[in-house]
Structure 1
C-alpha cells in the first residue's frame, strides 16, 4: 500500500512539474511579447504558443525548445525572464539591430542551450560570466555587437563548444587561459573556431593558450592590440587551416616550428612588428594565401621555398626587407593570381618567363631596385614597376612604369535565359526574371583562398552551392543573386547576396527565420575556396499578409500527454494539490516580503508619508499614468522620438505648454525598481542650467517612467558627426565645453551630497535651442555620502574610451574620474573623432601628432576641418594643454573641475568671447531636427539598465 502511495505521489509531482513548466513557458513568452516591439502578428492571436501558431517558436511536449527570430526587426532587449525557459535549446535573435542593452546574466539558467546566436544585434556591456554554465553549448555567436570588457574565463567550461565567435565587438583585456581552478580558452579542445578579430584585446598571446590536444581549424585574432611574440606552442595545433594574427603589435621572431602547420591554407601575419629572419614555410604545401607584409624582418634574399609551394594563389610581402632577384619559376606556380612584393630591395633583372600562370593578374613590384625587365612576349598581367631604376630613365613610357587606373570589379548574377521585366517600386527582378522582394545581406569571407575579384566562375560556383543548400533544406527559395564583390579594409571578401522567394513575390516569416538561422548558425558551408564567413542581413519589411489563422508557416505538433494525465488524476489528487499549494504559499510568504522592497520599492508608499520607503523628493512631481497618456496623445507614434533597450521615448506637452521628454520602461520588466527609486531621489536634488532637469516620474499601473525637460538639438555627438546638421565653429565648441564643465563642477562641488557622474561623454551632453550644453543621463552616477570620503569602491562601469584608467584598474571611483572623461570630450570637440576607432585611441593619437614648436601644436591633420580657419582658433593650444592635463594617468595629476572651468573661462576671454553667455541668438531653434532623423538623447539605455553601455549607431559590419 505504501509503495502505491509513493508511486501516486511521484506521478502527482511529475504532473505538477510538467504543468508548472508549461505555464511558466507561456508566461515567459508573454513577457517577451510585451517587452519586444515588432513581434510577429501570429503572437497576437491569443492562442497557445506551443500550439504551433506562433512564428519562430518550436516546442516539444508543450515546452519551448527553440526561439528563432532572426531578421524580424525586433526592438528591445533580452530581459531576465528568458532564464525561465529551462528546456530551451536554440536561441537565435540575429540581425535585429534594435535589440540593445546588456546581455542578462539569467541566460546562464538555460542549461540545455546548444545554440546561442546573437549576430549583428546592438547588445552592449560585458558578456556575463554565467555564460560558462551552458555546458551543452555548441555554437556561441555574439559577433558584431557592442560587447565590452574582457572575454569571460568561464567560457573555458564549455567543453562541447564547436564554434566560438566574439569578433567585431569592443572586447578588451587579455586572452584567458586556465590556472588551477580557473578555467580558460585552452580547455576548449573540441572547438574548431576561435573568431576574436576586430576587438581591442591586448597583452601577450599566452603560450598556454595552445596545446596538442586542440582541434582548432580557424584561429582569427586579426585587428586587436595583442603584443609580445607568437608563442611556439602555436605549432602544436596541427589541425589549423586558417591563421590570422594580422594588424596587431606582435614582435620578436616567428617561431621556427610554424612550418609544422602543414594543413594551413591561409596565413596572415601582416602589419605587426615581427623581426628576425623571414619564416621558413617549407612543407606547407597546401598554402594558398600568404600575407607577411609590413614587418621588420632581417634583410634577406628571396626565400627558396617561394617556388616549392605550388598551391599559392596570393603572395603579399610588401615592406619585408626582401632582396635579390625573383626566380623565373616563381611566376609559373599553376594557381598564382596576385603578387605584391612592393617596397623591398629586389634587384637585378626581372623575368616572368615564357609560361607564367594562366591565372596571374597582378604583379606589384613598385619601389624596388630592379634594373631591367626581360619581356619575352606581351602579357595580359597587370605589372607595376614604378619607382624602380628601369623606370627612372628619361623617355621611358612603358605601361608598367605608370600606376594603373583603379577599377572596381563589377559582377552581378546574369538572368537565367530570360528578359528582366520592368518591376514596380520596391520590387526587384530575380535571375529568373520574376519581380519580387528579396531577402538581402552581405557575406564577409574572412579567409578566401583566392585574391582575384574578376574570377566570375567562382561566384557562379558559390551561387550553385547556395541554391543546392536551400533546396535540400526545403527553404522557399526561387533563386539567388550575387553582386558587387570587393575587398574591405580588413581584407575580407565582401559579396552582396539577394535571395528571392518561391512562390513570390514575398517571403513569409517562417521563410525568413529559416534563411536567417541557416546563415547565422553557419549551417550553410561553402567550399574551402571561400572558407569561413560572417553573414550580415538587412531587415525584411515585405512579408506576405498574415492570414486569419495567424500564421503562414508550418505548424508543429505538440504532445499533450502530460495534460491528459493531469485531467485523469486531477479529481483524485485535488485535496493533495490544495495542501501542496497552501504549503508553497506559506513558504513563499517570507521570501516575498524580503524581496518586495527590491521589486516594488513604492509598494507601501503613501505620498504624504515621511517614511524611508518613499522617494526623498525635492521638486520632482509624481505623474499618473493617465496624465502622461494625455500629454503624449495616448503615446502616439507621432510623439515617439526614440527607442532604447528598456523602452520608448516620447515627446509630450504639459498644460502650461512646456515640452517634456518621457522615457517609458517596457511593461513586463520587473527589474530595476529600487534603482528607479534611487535615481529619482538623486536627480530631484540637482538643479543647474547646465544639467538636464528631471521634472517628474510615474510609478503607476505597473509603469516606470521618467519625465525630463525636452532638449531640442540632441546630443553633442550628433552635432560633431554632422548628423544633426548643426555647424559648430570654434566659439561654439568653447562655449559648449565651458557649459558642460560648469554642470560637472556643480555636481562635484555644490550638490548635496556631491555626485560623480561616471559616464561623461558626448552622447550625454545635450544642446538646447541656443546650444547651451546640458549634462544628461545620471543612470550610473554615484553620490559621495561621507563628509571626508575621497573615493567610492564600486564595480567598474562606464563607456570604453572615456573611462578613467585608474578607476578601471583600482575600482576606486573619484571626482577625477569625471575629469578624465571630460578631457576625452575636449579632444573629441577639436577632432570630431570617436574616442576609439579602428583600435586608435584619441588620447594617444593627439599626443603622437603634437609638436609644441609648431603653430597649433602641429595638429592641423587631426583637427576637425569644420572647426574654422587656423587664424580663428585663438587659445587652441591652451585648450589642448588643459585636455591633456585632464587625461593624465593618475587622478592626483589632473585638475579639479573648478580649475577646468576657470581655465576655460580664461581661454574664452583670450579669444574675445564672453564666458558669461551661453550662445548667441543666431543659434536658435532653426537647428531643431524633426521626427526621427536621429536617435533622441533620452533613448540612452543606462537610465534604466545601469550597465555602463551606450546606444550604438546602426550597425555597419566590417
Structure 2
C-alpha cells in the first residue's frame, strides 16, 4: 500500500513538472515569436530559459514571465499579436523605443492579469484598440507621446481599477466618451486620479456627467485640443482636484461659479479660449499657486480683490482680459509671488510696486497698457518691470529707462559639482556632480503643470535633484548622482522641459537592467517628486551599452606581448607619419596655385572645403581683372556687408561680385554654408551662384546679375519701378515657389532663416528670386522636424516661436513670408516708427467690411491701375502665416496654392512664365542707379524681445 501511495505521489509530481514545463516553454515560444521582427534585442537573450538564464529585462515568478522592462533599448519593429500568449504578464514597459511602430494588436486584451502598460515615447500609430477595455486589472495606462489617432475607445470606461490614464500628446480626435447604450464612459473611472488627455485633437464639449463628487481626480489635463461649449458647473463637485488645464481650446460662456468650491486646487489654466462674462471669483481658494486666465474676452473690470489675497500664489497671468483702472499696490506684496503678467489691457494711472523688492517677485509685465507714471520706492529695485507701449514710455528720453526697454529673460541652470573639481573625461564620458567620469543615462523631464514661473531659481532644481537621488537609491538602483540642465518652457505645449542625466555608481556604465529599471521607476511615477513639478513625464534617450572593456582573463604574458607589439607598431607609424608629412608639405607647396581649395584647407578654422555642385572657384587675381581692380566705376551697390561690383566674365556672362568688408566677414562656417547651399539648389526663383573667392584673406561671392534691384527698393520708392497689384501677386507667387523648393524638393530640406524684402530680387521681367543664404540651415533631422540653433534673423520678420524656443522649422520661413506679404500690401517696413506691421493690421482689420477695413494702411498705388481683386484673401492668408504657433501656420506649398487661386481671381494665369503686362525694364536706359540687390543694410543677428503676434483663426 505504501508503495502505491509513493507511486501516486511521483505521478502527481511528474504531472506538475510537466504542466510547469509546458507553461515555461509556452512563455519562451511566445517571447521568441514576439521578438522575431525586433532588432537590437538584448544579447543576453540566448538559450531556452528566459527565467533561469538572466535574460535582461525579463522578470519571472514561478518560472512564468510576469514582467517585461525594455525601455530605452533602441528596439526596432512591431508589437506582435503573440504578446497575448504571455498569460501571466502583469507589467509591460517598452517606452522610449522610437523604432517600435505599427498598431497595438487587438489581442493585447487577452492579457487579463496586466496591471501596468507603458508605451511612452514610441512611434505607435493607428487607433487604440477597443480590447484594451478588457484589461480589468489595469491600474496604470500610459500611451502618451506616440502617434495614435481616431477616437478614445469608450471601452476605456471598463478600466474601473485605473489610477493613471495618460493618452496625451497624440492625434486623438472626436468626443470625450461618456456612458450610453450600455457602454461605460470615463465618468465611471472613480478610482482614477489622473486624466491626461492634452495635446490631441479632441472636439465637442465636456459632458456635465464627466464629473461627480464620487471621483478621486487630482489632475484633469485637457489643454490644447479643439474642445468647445461651456465648462460644466459639475467640475466644482470634484473637491480633490489639484490641477486643471483647459487652456488652448475654444471654450465659451462664463467660468462656472462652482469652480470656487475647488479649495484644494493649486493650478488653474483657462487661457487662450473664448470665455466671457465676469472674471471668475477665486476668493477662498487659498492653495492656488498658478493662475492663468489670459486671452479671453471677459467683461471689463478692475483687478479683482482675490488677486491680492492668495498667499501661496507664484504666478498671475491676466493678459488680454479687459482689465482697467488703477493697479493696487497690495497685488505686488504677496510673499510667494514671482510673476505678474497683465499685458494688453487698459490699466492706467501710476504704477506703485510698494515693497516688492523684498520678496520673490521677479517680473511685472504691463506691456501695452496706458500707465502714465511709475513710483520707484527703491531706485535699485531688482524686479523686472516692463512698461513698453505705455504712455509713460512715450515721453522724451523714455527709451533710456530700463522699464521702457523690451525684457530679456534667462533661465540658465546646470547642476554644479559637489565640492570637487570636474575631471577631464574620455570621449563620450561626462564628469558627474561627484566628479567621476562615466556614461550617464540621459533624457528629458517634462512638467505638465508648472506651479512656478521663476525658471532661474536654482532652489527648485536642487530640491528636484535631491528627490531624484533619494528616490533612485530607495529603489536600490545603481545611481550615484543626477544632474539637471537647460530649463526651458516650450511655448507650444506650455510644458517645462529639463535635461536629465543619471550617473551610475560602482561602474562607469549602466547595464541593460539598470537602464530599464531606472526608466521604469521614472515613467511609472514611483519617484516622490516635489509638488511644484507634478504631474511629470519623461522621454528617455537610447543608451549606448557597448563599451570596449578589456578582458579580465587575459594573462600577464599576453599583456606584455601586446604592449611590445603595440610599441613596435607605434614606432613604425611615427616614422611613416614623418615621411608622409615631409612629402605632403612639398606637395601642398607645389599644388597651392593649382588646387583652389588648398587655401581653404590650410585655414585651421575653415573645416573641410565646400562640396560644390556647379559653382566655380575664382582667384583674387581673376576678380581684380574682371572688375578693373575693383574700380569705383564698377560699383553697383554697398552696405554693411561690403561693396558689390558688376563684372563681365570672359564667357560674356554678367555677374555681381559681393566683396565682404574686413570688419563684416562671416565666419568660414557661414561663408561655406552659403557657398554649398547656393551651389546645390537650382530653381528659377532662386538666385544662382556662379562661384566664389576664398583667397588671401578675401571672401567674395559671384552671383548671376539681377538688374532690377530688391523688392524693398520698389516698395519704398528707391527705384523707378512702380508695382501694381498684379505685379505684387506675381512677386509673391515667385518668392513662395522658391521657398517651397527649398522646403520640399531640396535634399535635405533647407530653411532660409532670413526672408525679407531686401532678399527678394527682381529680374528683367520682375520675376522674384530669393537671395542671400548666409543664415540658412539644413533640416537634416527629419524625425524631430526642427533644428535647435542660435536665434538669428532680421527684426520684424523673426518667428516668435523660434525666438522663444531656438527651434528652427520651415514654419519659421512661413512666418517671415507672412510679414513679407503684409509688406507687399502696405509698402510699409515691418517695424516703422515703432509700429509693428502685424499688430497694425490686427488693430484695424475687420473681416465684415470692404477690404477688411484696411483702406488706411493699404499702399495707395495698388488701386491706381486695376482694382485689387483678391486682396482680402491675400491678407487673410498672410495673417495665417504669422500666427503665433508654428503648428497653426500653413506650409509654403499650401501658400503657393492659395496665392495661385488668388491670382486666378484677379485675372492672372498662375502657370504663365511671365506677366504679359510687365515690360522689360532697362535700368541704365532710365538713367537710374539702384541700390544693388546684394547689399546688406540690416544686421543679421537679433536677440531682442518680440511683440505678441497672436491671430485668431479666420
Decide: shared fold, TM above 0.5.
yes
Deviation at 1:121, TM superposition (A): 0.3
Question: Residues 82, 862 of structure 1: CA spacing in aligned structure 2 closer, same or farther, 3 A cutoff?
Answer: same
Mean Cα deviation higher: 300-309 or 208-217: 300-309
2:33 aligned residue (8, 31, 34): 31
CA 59–405 in structure 1, closer or farther in 2 if over 3 Å, else same: same
Give the superposition deviation at 1:17: 5.0
2 CA distance for matches of 1:395 and 1:232? 51
C-alpha change, 1:852 and 1:289, in structure 2 (3 Å) is farther
Q: 1:504, CA displacement in angstroms? A: 2.8
Residues 348-427 of structure 1 mapped to structure 2, 5 A cutoff: 348-354=349-355, 358-378=359-379, 379-397=381-399, 399-427=401-429
Q: Say whether 1:252 aligns with 2:269.
A: no
Pairing of 1:326-365 with structure 2 (within 5 A):
326-354=327-355, 358-365=359-366
Q: Secondary structure at the match of 1:76?
A: strand
Structure 2 residue matching 1:281: 3-state secondary structure: coil
Q: Hey, what does 1:42 align to over in structure 2?
A: 44
Matches within 5 A, 1:900-939: 908=911
Corresponding position: 1:506 with 2:523: no
Contact map agreement 2:903 2:910 (CA 8 A) in 1: no
8 Å CA contact 2:216–2:240 kept in 1: the answer is yes
- Aligned residue for 2:871? 854
Find the counterpart in structure 2 of residue 477 from structure 1.
Answer: 479
SS of equivalent residue, structure 2 residue 525: coil
Other structure's SS at 1:506 match? coil
Q: How much has 1:408 moved relative to structure 2? A: 2.5
2:96 equivalent in structure 1: 95
Alignment partner for residue 496 of structure 2, among 493, 502, 507? 493
SS at structure 2 position matched to 1:178: coil
Supply the distance in 2 between the matched residues of 1:211 and 1:281 (Cα, whole angstroms). 21
Q: CA deviation at 1:407?
A: 3.6
Corresponding position of 1:799 = none
CA contact (8 A) 1:205 1:226 kept: yes
Q: What's the counterpart of residue 281 of structure 1?
A: 282
* CA distance in 2: counterparts of 1:62 and 1:504, whole angstroms: 31
Q: State the alpha-carbon separation in 2 of the partners of residues 376 and 522 from structure 1.
A: 47
Q: 1:264 to 1:547 in 2, by over 3 A?
A: farther
Post-superposition Cα deviations, 1:63-86, rounded to whole Å, max 9, x if no partner, equal: 110000000000001010101111
Larger mean CA deviation between 365-374 and 459-468 belongs to 365-374
Deviation at 1:33, TM superposition (A): 3.1
Kept after mapping to 2: 8 A contact 1:274/1:296: yes
Q: Is the 8 A contact 1:448 1:528 kept in 2?
A: no
Aligned equivalents of 2:551 and 2:163: distance in 1? 42
- 1:509–1:543 CA contact under 8 A, matched in 2: no
Shift in CA distance, 9/127, structure 1 to aligned 2, threshold 3 Å = farther
Q: Given that residues 65 and 90 in structure 1 are in contact (C-alpha distance below 8 angstroms), is that contact kept between their aligned partners in structure 2? A: yes
Change (3 A) 1:364 1:730: same
How far apart, CA to CA, are the structure 1 residues paired with 2:471 and 2:536? 16
Q: CA deviation at 1:832?
A: 9.8
Contact 2:357 2:382 (8 Å CA) reproduced: no
Distance in 2 (CA, whole Å) between partners of 1:16 and 1:832 is 68
In the aligned structure 1, how far is the partner of 2:813 from the partner of 2:388? 37
Which stretches in structure 1 are left out of the alignment for 5+ residues? 550-721, 732-761, 772-827, 835-847, 885-903, 914-958
Quote the residue 1:526 is aligned against. Answer: 529
The 8 Å contact of residues 41 and 546 in structure 1, kept in 2 or not, is answered as no
From the superposition, tell whether residues 205 and 37 of structure 1 become closer, same or farther in structure 2 (CA, over 3 Å): same
Q: Say if 1:105 and 1:129, in contact at 8 Å, map to a contact too.
A: yes
| Counterpart position of 2:298 | 297
Matched, 1:57 2:74: no
The one-character-per-residue Cα deviations of 1:489-546 (angstroms, maximum 9, x if unpaired) are 1222111111111123211111101111011111113011211111111100134569
- Describe the SS at the equivalent of 1:49: coil
* Separation in 2, partners of 1:73, 1:479: 24
In structure 2, the residue matched to 1:434 is 436
Query: Secondary structure of 1:306's partner?
Result: helix
**Cα distance between partner residues in 2 of 1:30 and 1:412:** 44
**Structure 1's 428 and 830: CA in aligned 2 closer, same or farther, altered over 3 A?**
closer
Query: CA separation in 2, counterparts of 1:50 and 1:881?
Result: 70
TM-aligned CA distance change 1:860 to 1:292, over 3 Å:
closer
User: How much has 1:353 moved relative to structure 2?
Assistant: 1.2
Q: Say which is worse superposed, 367-376 or 120-129, in terms of deviation.
A: 367-376
Change (3 A) 1:193 1:548: farther
Distance in 2, matches of 1:727 and 1:178, equals: 59
Residue 51 of structure 1: SS of its match in structure 2? coil
User: What does 1:723-872 correspond to in 2, within 5 Å?
Assistant: 853-854=870-871, 857-858=874-875, 859=877
Verify the 8 A CA contact 2:870 2:903 in the aligned structure 1: no
Which residue of structure 1 aligns with residue 23 of structure 2? 21
- Unmatched 5+ residue regions in structure 2? 553-676, 687-739, 750-808, 816-846, 853-867, 882-888, 917-954
Counterpart of 1:391 in 2: which secondary structure? helix
Q: Distance in 2 between matches of 1:51 and 1:4?
A: 30
Q: How far has the Cα of 1:185 moved from its partner?
A: 0.5
Q: Which residue of 2 aligns with 1:112?
A: 113
Match of 1:467 in 2: 469
Indicate the residue corresponding to 2:229 in structure 1: 228
- For residue 373 of structure 1, report the CA deviation from its aligned partner: 1.9
State the secondary structure of the residue aligned to 2:533: coil
Instruction: Name the CA distance, whole Å, in 2 between partners of 1:123 and 1:542.
Output: 25
Q: Find the aligned partners of 1:25 and 1:73 in 2 and give their Cα distance.
A: 23
**Equivalence map 1:557-706=2 (5 Å):** none
- 1:878 Cα deviation (Å)? 4.8
Change (3 A) 1:106 1:546: farther
2:474 aligned with 1:457: no
Counterparts of 2:241 and 2:172 in 1: how far apart (Å)? 24
Q: Distance in 2 between matches of 1:66 and 1:190?
A: 24
Instruction: Evaluate the alpha carbon distance shift between residue 292 and residue 25 of structure 1 in structure 2; reply closer, same or farther with a 3 A threshold.
Output: same
Question: Aligned in 2, Cα 1:255/1:413: closer, same or farther, shift over 3 Å?
Answer: same
1:854 offset after TM fit, Å? 2.7
Q: Is the 8 A contact 2:814 2:892 kept in 1?
A: no
How has the CA–CA distance of structure 1 residues 495 and 829 changed in structure 2, closer, same or farther, with 3 Å as cutoff? closer
Contact 2:414 2:485 in 1 (8 A): yes
Using the size of structure 1 for normalisation, the TM-score is 0.59
Q: In the alignment, does 2:544 pair up with 1:541?
A: yes
Could you say if the C-alpha distance between residues 173 and 333 of structure 1 is closer, same or farther in structure 2, counting changes exceeding 3 Å?
Answer: same
C-alpha spacing 1:171/1:833, structure 2 compared with 1 (3 Å):
farther
Residues 322, 432 of structure 1: alpha-carbon distance in 2 compared, 3 angstrom cutoff = same
SS in structure 2 at match of 1:222? coil
Q: 1:451 to 1:26 in 2, by over 3 A?
A: same
TM norm structure 2:
0.59
Task: Please give the alpha-carbon distance, in whole angstroms, between the structure 2 residues aligned to 1:49 and 1:177.
Answer: 42
Q: What is the CA-CA distance between 1:403 and the residue it aligns to?
A: 2.6
